[in-house]
Amino acid sequence: MAANPADLSAALVLTPVPAADWLVVLPPAWCLLVGAVLLMLRKSLHLQALIAIPALAVLVVIDALLLAHVAANGPVTMVMGRWLPPFGIAFTADLTGVLFALAGAVVAFAGSVHALADIDASGRRYGFYPFLLLLMAGVSGAFLTGDIFNLYVWFEVLLISSFGLITLGSEPRQIDGAIKYAFLNLVATTLFLVTTGYLYGIFGTLNMADIAVKAAAGRAELPLMTLATLYFLAFGMKAAAFPVNFWLPASYHTPRVVVSALFAGLLTKVGIYALLRTLVMLFPVEREELSFLIAIVGVATMLLGALGALGQSDIRRLLGYVVISGIGVILAGLSLGSPGGIGGAIFYALHSMVVMTALYMAAGLAGRLAGSFDLNRLGGLYSRSALFSALSLVLFFAASGLPPFSGFWPKVMVAKAAIDIGAWWLTASVFLAGFLTTIALGRVFALAYWRAEVRGLPAQSIPASALLPLAGLTALTVVFGLFPDALLSLVQHAEQSLANPDAYIGSVFPGGK
């Protein structure tokens, strides 16, 4: 080094990296590592769950530690290969990203346990657990990366793993669902890539903190409206916003139930996260311009989702529409842009990750107990298992946004934020959508749970490995419904750091920009 007089500190990180900063890259790296091990042990079916479930528990712990670290010290950045941003790829965890990552890890952990009962040997032979770990690598990476092209790469990682999961078993019906899912998601991902190409052409940088700085500086002459609109379309497609949401009901009922559960919990929320990141942090002024459009899309998504749920007789299809309706509420929050709106959107997304996963698990168990997913044939679930019925009812209420469960608070936040700016129609649609969802899910409860059994079925018991994750997720929605204060304050801080990303930028460029 002595022969080389170049000032390395201009290009490289030369200060030692604190061990705690490793938490930022650990979630995706850990998932990739364990996913690789599981793939090597593909033929040892008995080892798969034995490795995957503890590994996902470790992922939950890593994300929880990262949350504690970020909550205490603000956003944390680690750059790849010690190259300084904006040239090195940065991983930056702020509260929004970490909250999403933690909720995702909890959902995946619950899913991995639930899969013990739901995924048979053939599903494991096709590689359920390796795909799950690689999916989580993609999901965690997407939530924690600070580089928009890297975000695209993680989208690809999770998309490819999800193709594997959705075709698990290779039944013709699944291939049919997978083709619709794959095609439309590829269109969205391509649009994302094209837009990122434009963005790179405009800014000459892909680092999100750098983009935020440059966008704020050169807003007047740069064509940022185009970028914001294209991102809204691309990520709206991912998040299943009307009118580009038809891929979701067409595909979510075809895979194994636990796969649907994980998709409902994770995939659309990655789209929501990307919307929040781009529209709130990078292009807030353009989001303001688009707010009426976003609100219209949100209202259409939530109402048509709820109406779609009313019209379905297959529970899994019905839940697909409930997922969509929830996305509408999140978009309504996004359109408002006020602290209450964005905070409500983040809170609702976290709530929806947990509750939608649990609801699909409940649907799977209902199907297992009563031998059908068809509301015309289901019946007598209450007499078969009162505990399971109680859990389901809690989840139905939570998904409809009734108190005292976790869906209530974000809806109140969004509704109040809408009233504050006089958008009574937005508030009305949030409540109308909640009302319609209550009817749709109440109909499920009345028909599948309360109605007397249609025909004699062999007595089926619910295995503990299927019931425990369901109970755990339900407990989460009850706890955060009854004691929302801690989560509310986290969400408010997350919203502040998203709307005012000075701390985020400071973490990427410690020397100032």
Partner 1 sequence: MNTLIFRTVAPFLTALMALFSIFVLLRGHNEPGGGFIGGLIAVSALAIFGIANGIAAVRRALWFHPMAISAFGLFIACLAGLLSAAFGVPFMTGLWITPTVLGVEIPLSSVMLFDTGVYLVVVGAITSIALALEAGDDV
Query: Distance between CA 275 and CA 290 in Å, rounded?
Result: 13
Nearest to 302, CA basis, from 284, 282, 325 = 325
| Binding flag, residue 47, partner 1 (CB under 8 A) | no
Could you identify the residue written with the tokens 């939950």?
Answer: 60
Q: Of 54, 68, 82, 489, which lies in the binding site for partner 1, with binding defined by CB under 8 A?
A: 82
Q: Of 23, 27, 32, 213, which lies in the binding site for partner 1, with binding defined by CB under 8 A?
A: 32
Q: Of 25, 108, 276, 342, which lies in the binding site for partner 1, with binding defined by CB under 8 A?
A: 25
- Binding segment for partner 1 among 39-47, 203-211, 375-383, 447-455 (CB under 8 A)? 39-47
- Binding segment for partner 1 among 17-25, 172-180, 336-344, 354-362 (CB under 8 A)? 17-25
The binding track of 366-385 with respect to partner 1, each residue x by CB under 8 A or -, is --------------------
Q: Which is nearer to partner 1, 125 or 513 (CB)?
A: 125
Tokens, residue 158? 């999770």
| Binding flag, residue 20, partner 1 (CB under 8 A) | no
| Binding flag, residue 444, partner 1 (CB under 8 A) | no
CA separation, residue 291 to residues 261, 296, 341, 388, 426 (Å): 31, 9, 12, 41, 12
Q: Is 41 in a helix, a strand, or coil?
A: coil
Q: Of 64, 65, 80, 216, which lies in the binding site for partner 1, with binding defined by CB under 8 A?
A: 80
| Binding flag, residue 11, partner 1 (CB under 8 A) | no
Window 124 to 143, contacts with partner 1 (CB under 8 A):
130
Minimum CB distance to partner 1, residue 33 (Å): 4
| Binding flag, residue 91, partner 1 (CB under 8 A) | yes
Q: Are 139 and 230 in contact (CB under 8 A)?
A: no
Helix (H) or strand (E) holding 6: none
Q: Which is nearer to partner 1, 21 or 63 (CB)?
A: 21
| Binding flag, residue 81, partner 1 (CB under 8 A) | yes
Q: Which is nearer to partner 1, 78 or 467 (CB)?
A: 78
- Binding segment for partner 1 among 10-18, 201-209, 289-297, 489-497 (CB under 8 A)? 10-18
Query: Distance between CA 303 and CA 434 in Å, rounded?
Result: 9
Query: Distance between CA 337 and CA 342 in Å, rounded?
Result: 6
CA angle 303, 309, 310 (to 5 degrees): 90
Q: Of 20, 42, 432, 488, which lies in the binding site for partner 1, with binding defined by CB under 8 A?
A: 42
| Binding flag, residue 40, partner 1 (CB under 8 A) | yes
Query: Distance between CA 7 and CA 68 in Å, rounded?
Result: 36
- Binding segment for partner 1 among 35-43, 214-222, 300-308, 489-497 (CB under 8 A)? 35-43
Nearest to 128, CA basis, from 52, 58, 34 = 52
Q: 208 — alpha (psi -120 to 50), left (phi > 0) or beta? A: alpha
Query: Distance between CA 186 and CA 188 in Å, rounded?
Result: 5
Minimum CB distance to partner 1, residue 122 (Å): 13
Query: Distance between CA 152 and CA 309 in Å, rounded?
Result: 32
How crowded is residue 510: how many other Cβ atoms within 10 Å of its Cβ?
11
- Binding segment for partner 1 among 25-33, 245-253, 447-455, 478-486 (CB under 8 A)? 25-33
Tell me the angle at which helices 408-420 and 424-444 cross, rounded to the nearest 10 degrees: 160
- Rounded (to 5) percent helix, strand, coil in the chain: 75, 5, 20
How big is the site for partner 1, counted in residues (CB under 8 A)? Answer: 25
Q: Of 1, 3, 6, 16, which lies in the binding site for partner 1, with binding defined by CB under 8 A?
A: 16
Q: Which is nearer to partner 1, 12 or 464 (CB)?
A: 12
Total H helices, total E strands in the chain: 21, 2
Minimum CB distance to partner 1, residue 387 (Å): 40
Tokens, residue 358? 């649990």
| Binding flag, residue 62, partner 1 (CB under 8 A) | no
Q: Which is nearer to partner 1, 16 or 201 (CB)?
A: 16
| Binding flag, residue 255, partner 1 (CB under 8 A) | no
| Binding flag, residue 79, partner 1 (CB under 8 A) | yes
CA separation, residue 232 to residues 245, 346, 455 (Å): 13, 17, 49
Tokens, residue 51? 């490795």
Name the site residues for partner 1 (rule: CB under 8 A). Answer: 13, 16-17, 19, 21-22, 25, 29, 32-33, 35-40, 42-43, 78-82, 91, 130
